[in-house]
Chains A and B, each alone.
Chain A
Amino acid sequence: DTAVSQTPKYLVTQMGNDKSIKCEQNLGHDTMYWYKQDSKKFLKIMFSYNNKELIINETVPNRFSPKSPDKAHLNLHINSLELGDSAVYFCASSQGQAVILRGYTFGSGTRLTVV
């Protein structure tokens, strides 16, 4: 009964390809996020959706496009992959103001390697 599940766990692909990472949460949360952990281990927010509506869109290349078909799903599509996109991508969810007391619930991450 994984609360936030991401697929795939590992993804190796060639430069220039297009790939998607899927995320689903079964917690009934209203907000979902995508974070990127780069080689320096910083966790940086990329996007946030609240009830399927985009509320945070940090400075991310427009090759990255999030899609939220419903509030339980937030997928990340990446076009024309580049070597610098190699990182671990974490999906997370939260419920309104409860994030202040309980933080986000994270998925286990997707390690993307672009060769």
Chain B
Amino acid sequence: DQQVKQNSPSLSVQEGRISILNCDYTNSMFDYFLWYKKYPAEGPTFLISISSIKDKNEDGRFTVFLNKSAKHLSLHIVPSQPGDSAVYFCAASGGADYKLSFGAGTTVTVRA
């Protein structure tokens, strides 16, 4: 049973525009949320995280928004660049074992 869901398998955006990736979760015990970026033939790399006590976290071009009541988070990339073309995974954690539950990923393609 998937507790973290990314319902959009792919997203195409023009260079310079905003990319918005969405993620929903079902487990109310989750209190930390992370986004990972993955290039082909490489492992996922950590991008940005947010604690459930916040509703926004920003790091350069990347901003993550959290709506706890809706059990929804989103990742905004502004402006999108060709190097942002990758698969983005949403992940969540809520236990003392620090286990991360991942979504299925969204493939972002930035068009020149």
Contact = CB atoms under 8 A, between A and B. Distances in A.
Contacts of A109: 41-43
Contact of B100 (A104, A107, A108): A104
Contacts of A115: none
Given A4-B43, A105-B46, A108-B42, A43 B89 contact: yes
Contact of B97 (A42, A56, A106, A108): A56
A71 to B, nearest CB: 15
Query: Max chain A CB contacts within 10 Å: which of B36, B99, B100?
Result: B100
A45 interface: yes
Contacts of A103: 34, 36, 46, 49, 91, 100
Contacts of B104: 40-42
B102 A43 contact: yes
Contacts of A101: 49
Given A103-B34, A107-B43, A97 B89 contact: no
Nearest to B41: A108
Contacts of B51: 100
Interface residues of A, number: 28
A90 B43 contact: yes
Interface in B87-112: 87, 89, 91, 93, 97-105
A100 B91 CA distance: 11
A100 B102 contact: no
Contact of B99 (A42, A45, A90): A45
B93 A106 contact: no
Nearest to B100: A104
Interface in B45-74: 45-46, 49, 51
A94 interface: yes
28 contacts: A31-B98, A41-B87, A41-B104, A41-B105, A42-B102, A42-B104, A43-B89, A44-B102, A45-B99, A45-B100, A48-B97, A48-B99, A90-B43, A92-B43, A94-B98, A99-B98, A100-B32, A100-B51, A100-B93, A100-B98, A102-B46, A102-B49, A103-B34, A103-B49, A103-B91, A104-B46, A106-B43, A109-B43
